Amino acid sequence: MATLATNLGFPRMGARRELKRSLESYWAGEISAGQLESTAAGLRERHWRLQADLGIDHIPSGDFSLYDHVLDTAVLVGAVPDRYRAADDPHERYFAMARGGTVDGRGVTALEMTKWFDTNYHYLVPELGAGQRFSLSSTKPLDDFRQALSLGITTRPVLLGPVSFLMLSKFTGTGGTVLDLADGLVAVYAELLAELAAAGVSWVQLDEPVLVLDLGADERRAIDRAYRTLREAAPSLRLLVATYFAGLGANLPTALGLPVDALHLDAVSDPGQVDAAATEAPESLALSVGVVDGRNVWRTDLAAALDRLEPLRRTVGADRLLVGPSGSLLHLPVDLHLESTVDPEVRSWLAFATQRLEEIGLLVRGLNDGRDAIAEPLNVASTACAARASSPRVHDPAVAERLAAHHPSLEQRPSPFAVRRDVQRAHLSLPVLPTTTIGSFPQTADVRAARARHRRGDVDDGAYTEQLRRYVDDAMSFQEDVGLDVLVHGEPERNDMVEYFGELLDGCVVTEQGWVQSYGSRCVKPPIIYGDVHRPRPMTVDWATYAQSRTARPVKGMLTGPITILAWSFVRNDQPLEVTARQVGFAVRDEVADLEAAGIGVIQIDEPALRELLPLHDADRKAYLAWAVGAFRLASSGVRDETQIHTHMCYAEFNDIIEAIAAFDADVISIEASRSRMELLSAFVDFDYPNEIGPGVWDVHSPRVPTTEEMVGLLDAALNVLPADRLWVNPDCGLKTRRWEEVRPALANMVAAARQVRARLDAP
């Protein structure tokens, strides 16, 4: 018997973001639902054929989604909140849940959105009430399997496991927990598995990533009970439970005891768990081992991987071993072969999703046929890895010297917040409930076209700068006219809040087609941090000072913080993250100093990814938060008392990091709060957060324009828990992805809402 090659999931957008373009054309009314589905079917076929051609034995189906796989699961099991049920068209209902909109003539808000474990992927949070009824309401898993089968490709359907679905959902009932709903949900899964078996499916992959969290006894019992029920419902199916993002830790015995046929382990994040599993696993259980990194882009040392796999194969047996990526390849760009401008030396160190499949195929061939069968690619990989380790471009002595001279005093503001607050109020002269935005304004087609022409060399620097200055002029005039109190320049020069800085910092490269899905049709191109990070010159000062020259009102300098730059980049894996974070912190600190020296009195350092990098195991969190807070304070603390430091965070649960957020000591924090109707503020109240807060009153990830009355209602909800003199008024997030036709009325409504509430506060 042979060892098999497996994959857990593949990027959805397409190598050239075909799905993104099709989705946005559908939302704009330019194509039909049938045309959208045709694009989706074509992408699925292309991805299945690619995997088959590269020798993957277990090819996933059902991992493709038009928006989000958790949303797909909610629809699959009939967990559709009442406000969407009036939509007769399934596409209308699906996208209303994802984006909000109008259903049966009524405006509806979207489901809440939050980060998928410790990644930059966002999922839609299902809403489940007490007594929730589930029903099998979609044929998507069957449809995808049958499409692949019609092409001559037998796939392994992928489902989000029932317990992970429950634990990732929002329980809206009173009393009880989501686990009380397990029996009803598992019954629907059992029905689906029976249908899959009847359709000729041999293997089913059930993703249970919650198994890598710190679970209690009730949660472990729920998982065990669920899988015993599923085993009985579909005895002919072979079930693989997939875990990823961390080691199983104390949950390993539970996972090994499940009545399933295979267990997938992430051997990149926790190599040691594989040896323990190999020793303790029952002989009936196969092990699927993720030895190539599904989340980072550094080429696998194939010889080192074989050094780990060969003894494992002898221990468990060839036919009980599957080799694959650490997790789904959703989090990687599609194909390195599309890159022509990445520095050739750095390019030789990289592997994207397609190259990960090639690596898996080579490893399995090496295991089955011997290393001589893959001698040439083994040598190429070893040479590339050795070259990266010894390259002088990776290490900068000046950066190392600066880090060695670091002193804790660099992480302290001159005065406590209570003192700074009075100084800033006198300096800025802002009203109660001051209004601002998060930073970016719409990136119009003209702006994107100008950037592309400039990149190609068709437009010189002077003409390009002049065009963008006209955009800034218009943005400043609009903000003054609408009545905002603290203005922004709109960031027309920036392609992305992290990629922009990756282009300007030494030690980083950016790609042409390295797109990764963040949510829905939103894609980002993470920079690749390959070496020591240094800021060779100012990055934002010219734009901030130009904007400030156009108005007497305060203008915010806009920066991305060190933790978010790390989280939204592909970071070098040859040194601790803490070291790289401090390097980036120094680079941002230098930019902050230059902004202040240029007369910018309000500086925002965005850190939406603080929660995202939080380790999944409690035991590791204290150390992470200590160095993450230190990196932010290093970046932000070298300013005078009158300089107001803002930060922004979005789409995260704050309860378990609230003390760290307070330790940031930012003068103002803005957060996403509109989708939860200000529920997220409870964390800041229970902790008695001491500084100022801007809870978002406009969900910018939805195309809806909220009314003034809606925003007044949200401000009233915020005032129920926080005093007016600590509140700011702002959208949830930046406005880059919105259209001016939405931004102008929404911001006018926001300012009107703030003025209404101010007037009421001033009344006797």
DSSP 431: P
Residues 6+ apart with CB under 8 A from 570: 296, 297, 298, 526, 527, 528, 529
Residue labelled with tokens 């009036």? 86
What are the backbone angles phi and psi of residue 122, rounded to the nearest 5°?
A: -105, 135
* Tokens representing residue 625 in the block: 């938060």
**Would strands 668-671 and 113-115 be described as parallel, antiparallel, or unpaired?**
unpaired
Q: Which residue has the tokens 């090496």?
A: 366
HSE toward the beta carbon, residue 285, CA cutoff 13 A: 22
Contact status, residue 127 vs residue 168, Cβ threshold 8 Å: no
Q: Exposed (0-12), middle (13-18) or buried (19+): which is 275, by Cβ within 10 Å?
A: middle
Three-class DSSP category at 578? helix
Residue with tokens 């590269």: 54
d(C-alpha 311, C-alpha 306), whole Å: 9
Task: Return the closest-CA partner of residue 522 out of 57, 68, 31.
Answer: 68
Q: How far apart are CA 338 and CA 697, in angstroms?
A: 41
End-to-end CA distance of the chain, in Å? 84
The answer to whether the beta carbons of residues 671 and 696 sit under 8 Å apart is: yes
Find how far residue 637's CA is from the centre of its chain. Answer: 27
Quick one: how far is CA 512 from the chain centroid? 20
**Which residue reads 């010219």 in tokens?**
542
Can you tell me whether residue 602 is helix, strand or coil? strand
546 by DSSP, 3-state: which?
Answer: helix
164-194 residues labelled b (16+ CB within 10 A) or e (exposed): bbbbbbebeeeeeebbbbbeebbbbbbbbbe
Distances (CA, A) of 515 to 14, 483, 519: 9, 37, 12
CA 700 to chain centre: 16
Confirm if 667 and 419 have CB atoms less than 8 A apart.
no
Of 454, 489, 646, 701, the catalytic one is 701
3-state secondary structure of 623: helix
Task: Indicate the helix (H) or strand (E) that contains 122.
Answer: strand 122-124
Structure tokens at 569: 């980049």
Q: Is 407 labeled as catalytic in the residue annotation?
A: no
Return d(Cα 482, Cα 144) in angstroms, integer: 49
In order, the DSSP letters of 255-284 are HHTSS-SEEEEETTT-THHHHHHHHHS-TT
Tokens describing residue 159:
């489902």
The pair of structure tokens assigned to 556 is 């915010």
For residue 102, give both structure tokens: 């109008």
**SS3 of 501-514:** HHHHCEEEECCCCC
Question: What does the block give as tokens for 587?
Answer: 């680079």
As beta bridge partners, residue 440 has 490
What residues have CB less than 8 Å from 41, skipping those under 6 apart?
A: 147
Task: Specify whether the CB–CB gap between 11 and 64 falls below 8 A.
Answer: no
Closest CA to 648 of 685, 592, 712, 605: 605
Tell me the C-alpha distance between 92 and 87, whole Å.
Answer: 6
Residue-level length of the chain: 764
Tokens of residue 599, six digits: 């007369």
Query: Any idea which residues carry the catalytic annotation?
Result: 701
